[in-house]
Structure 1
Amino acid sequence: MNAIDKNFDYFLKNDFSDVKEGEWIAIYNNNVISHGLNLKKVIFEAKKMAPISKVLLSKIKKTASYL
């Protein structure tokens, strides 16, 4: 399993109740390394801690989405 797959698996298994709805999160090595409302700032902080190509970025939404 590659780094992005591991990060995505971590994302699916956690509820992130400590992160506000609408915030962006950056996940690397099964850890949230940055989060906030401004995506550019989240990416800037994440780049300091990990290679950005291996970081999973996602926006937190507390309700389900249906297509």
Structure 2
Amino acid sequence: MLSADFVGSNLLGIAPAAVPHLVQAAKDRNRPIDLSDIEIKGESIESLANPHGWDYIYKNNNTLPLSYAKA
């Protein structure tokens, strides 16, 4: 499953090393935090990647909207 998360992260344009829980999972499993130990078959990640961005819309008092609160 970790390999799938690494590939998915790259497909979204986010380096796995920038995702704290992926860094910890790789460390716990003694895995590199890149795709160097993953065999990619089919089309390349680069050709399929669709970088994903997001903006957090802060209110005037520097708080996030209630819909962003944890349940």
- TM-score normalised by the chain length of structure 1: 0.28
- Going by fraction, where is strand more abundant, 1 or 2? 1
Q: Which has the higher contact order (CA 8 A, sep 6+)?
A: 1
Q: Which has the larger radius of gyration?
A: 2
- TM-score normalised by the chain length of structure 2: 0.27
